[in-house]
Amino acid sequence: MTTLLQQSAAALLSPWTGINEAELASRFEYPPDESLGDLSLPCFPLAKQLRRAPNAIAAELAAQVNAAGQPAPSPIRWRAEAAGGFLNLSAVGSEWIDAVLAEAESPQLGRLTDGTGRRVIIDYSSPNIAKPFGVGHLRSTVIGHALANLHRTAGWEVVTVNHLGDWGTQFGKLISAYKRWGNRAALENDPIGESLRLYVRFHDEAEDAPGLIDDGRDWFAKLEQGDEEAHDLWTYFVRESLKEFQRIYARLGVSFDRLLGESFYNDQIKAAVERLQAAGLLEESEGAVVVRLDAEGMPPCLMLKSDGSSIYGSRDLTTALYRREQMNGDKLLYVVGAEQSLHFRQVFAVLEKLDPTWADIELVHVPFGLMKMEGRKMSTRRGKVVFLNEVLEEAVQRASAVIEAKTPDLPDKEDIAEAVGTGAVIFGDLRNRRMLEADFKLEEMVSMEGETGPYLQYTHARARSLLRKAEILGILTNGSPADLKSDEPANALEAADTAAALHPQHASGAPNPHPLDTPAARACLFKLSQYSEAIRGALREHEPSFVARYLLDLAKTYNRFYNSGKILDLAPPQEQSAAGTAPGEAASSAICAAASKLRLSEAVADTLRHGLALLGLKAPDKI
Ligand code: ARG
């Protein structure tokens, strides 16, 4: 989990400390104040091994760094200073700047190889047919989608599964209700709303007519036995609900590799439960069949109900066996609300009891907290059926109003408002640690200021607009004035200066400071160099918010840099000309400074776009 700068510093110090590079690299910290340096090595842990006081070690290492004929093992050069027991390092010269920018410019930006050769199965979204797509399902969809992207960029082979809740006794009730009071037109017009109405009416009327419950049970029995009418109706409900869910997925840019609902496992459950039986794990308890988990400190996991029918526990047992044995998963992720934590702990414990080799498979429940709307708990019951589409719709309308006020002449306004509005909702969900409650305040979320998705999208667009302007002016980010080599070189931009523009430190023999060697640019470059680290952290903790936070930090450092001086200022600095520098040289150094700043802008824009895509947000070029 280290950056290229940490690795370079470690390579330099490793021989003097006797600590291997990888270990040493992981020990660097970021100084609390950037004026202290870029990296800091606490020398306290070295004291015992080297039998010296930490400040003596820091002082000696500093002397060695400053004296060494750098560049030593890496092209990056360092200057050191001891501060008590800390060794503070600052990168010097221009090599480190090039190295950081080159990393961001590489087609490998954000790509890791950590997961190479391994397959992860990610279960997310997983709403229930004929029921509203709840807030929990939104969180699962957004978090799961980001986790899928993160695994993919880290080299994992990813299989995403939508584990639809498409089976259970409620379908018997729904069929019974539909046959009494339902009709096709109403269902097709509002599949989930109508299903819910039928379901609620069924329960209301059943209070006075207990026979209804029996009728519902009979229909479910028929469904389980493969009765044609029951099966056709069930298929129809599933199809209509899916159409509705699909609209939400399309807006969020989410798709799944496999749509394997609970019903998919119907004919595998018996065999799975038999394996538990053969392993001697099943016990009867109050008529039901359970696996006891006393030793694990958990209540028994229910496998079969007293009537012998399967339930959630046995379904998830079967599902996990399938994902390991048929889908060849090395890691199984379940992105499901925290209220199901016990269920997953139980299922995972049962699997390990059944076969100890399950310990080799990474089984992870990725829980998340509740979601509130303007500080209030959101209810998806009654009325607020397709509430999610409403939330997205409102976010998009608000984004549209913001755009209208800011940039009324923007082309493709509608597409951009859609990207910004949905981006606001997605980012609002991902910006904090997932176990925290997500509070949706739409007005704040769509704002282009503050810790929002639109702020990141806007920062990205701002950098792109700068790059477009530069292109018109003919300045390339690789440091060469575009028109220079071609048609008619302007007087001030003699071809001979190209080399100087490309290698600013050699401009006039004397080492000029690199145009990006300013506090604001340095802070931005250092942030840039931490992108892979943010991705790794997010994966390690299954916490997309690490990338969200990283992007906010990157955008903040970039905006500070952006505001710290005019990037496209091509006028030669006054003093320089006065000091007798040839006018051509001054102009070319102004162009070279602009080109370097543009190069940083492009690297930041590319990183923002890449990171936003990982989280599931679009990054329009114009806002
Ligand atoms: N459909 C379930 C619900 O809405 C979530 C399913 C999660 N996945 C699983 N394998 N249990 O609560």
> What would the DSSP string read from start to end of 326-395?
TS--SEEEEE--GGGHHHHHHHHHHHHHH-GGGGGSEEEEE----EEETTEE---STT-TTHHHHHHHHH
Tell me how far apart the alpha carbons of residues 337 and 40 are, in angstroms, rounded to a whole number: 40
Find the 143 Cα to ligand 1 centroid distance in Å.
14
Give the number of the atom of ligand 1 that is nearest the alpha carbon of residue 164. 1
Q: Is 78 helix (H, G, I), strand (E, B) or coil?
A: strand
What separation in angstroms does the CA of 611 have from each of 141, 215, 427, 449, 465? 18, 53, 12, 18, 19
Phi and psi at residue 91, to the nearest 5°: -75, 135
The answer to whether the beta carbons of residues 40 and 572 sit under 8 Å apart is no
In the chain, what percentage of residues exceed pLDDT 90?
A: 74
Q: Which residue has the tokens 């109003």?
A: 401
Could you read off the pLDDT of 205-224 as tens digits, one per residue?
A: 999 998 999 999 999 999 99
What separation in angstroms does the CA of 9 have from each of 23, 25, 90? 12, 7, 10
Angle at 306 between CA 304 and CA 309, to 5 degrees: 45
Q: What is the DSSP letter of 76?
A: -
Q: What is the DSSP letter of 510?
A: B
CA distance between the termini of the chain: 35
Q: Is 91 helix (H, G, I), strand (E, B) or coil?
A: strand
Ligand 1 binding pocket mutation candidate from 163, 343, 388 (most atoms within 8 A of CB): 163
Could you read off the pLDDT of 99-147 as tens digits, one per residue?
A: 999 999 999 999 999 999 999 999 999 999 988 888 889 999 999 999 9
Pocket of ligand 1 (CB under 6 A): 123, 126, 128, 163, 165, 316, 319, 334, 336
pLDDT of 595 above 60: yes
The answer to whether the beta carbons of residues 199 and 271 sit under 8 Å apart is no
Tell me how far apart the alpha carbons of residues 234 and 310 are, in angstroms, rounded to a whole number: 18
Find the 142 Cα to ligand 1 centroid distance in Å.
15
Give nearest CA residue, ligand 1 atom 11. Answer: 316
- How much is the pLDDT for 501? 41
Which class does domain 453-615 fall in?
mainly alpha
Mean pLDDT in residue range 81-100? 95
Give nearest CA residue, ligand 1 atom 4. Answer: 127
Find the 310 Cα to ligand 1 centroid distance in Å.
15
Which fold, 119-165+257-372? Answer: Rossmann fold (3.40.50)
Ligand 1 binding pocket mutation candidate from 135, 259, 336, 350 (most atoms within 8 A of CB): 336
Find the 165 Cα to ligand 1 centroid distance in Å.
7
Find the 163 Cα to ligand 1 centroid distance in Å.
7
Give the number of the atom of ligand 1 that is nearest the alpha carbon of residue 312. 11
The pTM of this model reads 0.90
Give the number of the atom of ligand 1 that is nearest the alpha carbon of residue 316. 10
Give nearest CA residue, ligand 1 atom 3. Answer: 127
- How much is the pLDDT for 474? 84
Tell me how far apart the alpha carbons of residues 275 and 355 are, in angstroms, rounded to a whole number: 10
Query: Which H helix or E strand runs over 285?
Result: strand 282-285
Tell me how far apart the alpha carbons of residues 352 and 595 are, in angstroms, rounded to a whole number: 59
The answer to whether the beta carbons of residues 257 and 160 sit under 8 Å apart is yes
Mean pLDDT in residue range 254-272? 96
Q: Extract the tokens encoding 109.
A: 């930006």
Find the 270 Cα to ligand 1 centroid distance in Å.
20
- How much is the pLDDT for 493? 39
CATH number of 4-92: 3.30.1360.70
What residues have CB less than 8 Å from 574, skipping those under 6 apart?
Answer: none
Q: Which residue has the tokens 């969200």?
A: 548
Find the 281 Cα to ligand 1 centroid distance in Å.
25
Q: Is 616 left (phi over 0), alpha (psi -120 to 50) or beta?
A: left
DSSP string, 490-525: -GGG-TTHHHHHH-GGGTBSB-PPPTT-SHHHHHHH
Domain ranges across the chain: 4-92, 119-165+257-372, 169-252, 381-427+436-446, 453-615
Q: Is 534 helix (H, G, I), strand (E, B) or coil?
A: helix
Could you read off the pLDDT of 515-545 as tens digits, one per residue?
A: 999 999 999 999 999 999 999 999 999 999 9
Give nearest CA residue, ligand 1 atom 6. Answer: 126
The pLDDT mean for the chain works out to: 89
Find the 530 Cα to ligand 1 centroid distance in Å.
35
Range with the lowest mean pLDDT among 64-73, 393-402, 609-618? 64-73
